[in-house]
Amino acid sequence: MKKAILGEFLGTALMVAVGCGSVSLAWSHGAVSATFGLIVMTAILLFGSWSGAHINPAVTIAFWRDQQLDTEKVLPYIIAQCSGALLGSMLTQGAAPTTVAPSVSLLRGFVVEVCITAALMVSILLVVQRSGDRRVIAAWVGATVALLAWLAGPLTGASMNPARTFGPNVLNSLWATLPFYLVSTVIGAWLAVDIKRRWFPDSPAQL
């Protein structure tokens, strides 16, 4: 358990520090999206054997709901992820807080976050179900993160991850944004489990 919690802490800190660091360096939107994808891939490769490298409370909740994570691990994982995100954000001096673009309504932004988080979680459940090779999982999930970040970044910041938002937004005192991103991403991940059960349920052999 200690190694798993440490893996979630370090993996999330690495993801936030490098991903948000690319924003602080004023890289292009495409480069930032690719960086987030690559660092998620790297975190899975480094810490996947420790904890599964969820590095995302919404992912943790979805895996718990899908009975792929023990209940006693849920809260420690989430605390580790949020703590890691805070550390990663401190290393980049609070760069890249997640906010909805002024031209996007809160309702539209909420729907965007639900949809992209659901898409991310469906892709994770799909690849985990079909492959036990961590390299395949890492590449698949990293590519999905990069694509979704590129598509939705200009609209909502493409959080898909309450911890990724928590670190930078807390350091920037954007407290009012936290419930918005927490609820939308958790709903998206929760719905992804329903989509999995409806369209590609586990076979009896896998259970």
Its pTM stands at: 0.93
Contacts of 186 (CB under 8 A, 6+ apart): 57, 58, 61, 162
Alpha helix positions (H), 131-205 = 134-156, 162-171, 177-199
pLDDT band with cut points at 50, 70 and 90 for residue 207: very low
Residue 63 lies in a domain: yes
Domain that includes residue 116, residue range: 2-199
Which of 181, 170, 55, 175 is closest to 113 using CA atoms? 181
Residue 11 lies in a domain: yes
Residues 99 and 77: their CA atoms lie apart, in Å, by: 25
DSSP 66: T
Cα–Cα distances (Å) from 11 to 42, 51, 152, in that order, read: 9, 10, 23
Q: What is the pLDDT of residues 49-88, one digit of tens each?
A: 999 999 999 999 999 999 999 999 999 999 999 999 999 9
Residue 50 lies in a domain: yes
Residue 27 lies in a domain: yes
Residues 49 and 52: their CA atoms lie apart, in Å, by: 6
Residue 207 lies in a domain: no
Residue 204 lies in a domain: no
Which of 100, 106, 112, 88 is closest to 36 using CA atoms? 88
Q: Which CATH number fits the domain that encloses residue 119?
A: 1.20.1080.10
Alpha helix positions (H), the chain = 2-24, 29-51, 57-65, 71-91, 106-130, 134-156, 162-171, 177-199
Residue 56 lies in a domain: yes
Mean pLDDT of 6-23: 97
What pLDDT, on a 0 to 100 scale, did the predictor assign at position 65?
Answer: 97
> How many domains, the chain?
1
DSSP 69: S
Cα–Cα distances (Å) from 3 to 45, 57, 80, 81, in that order, read: 15, 17, 11, 13
Does 204 or 149 have the greater pLDDT score?
A: 149
Residue 110 lies in a domain: yes
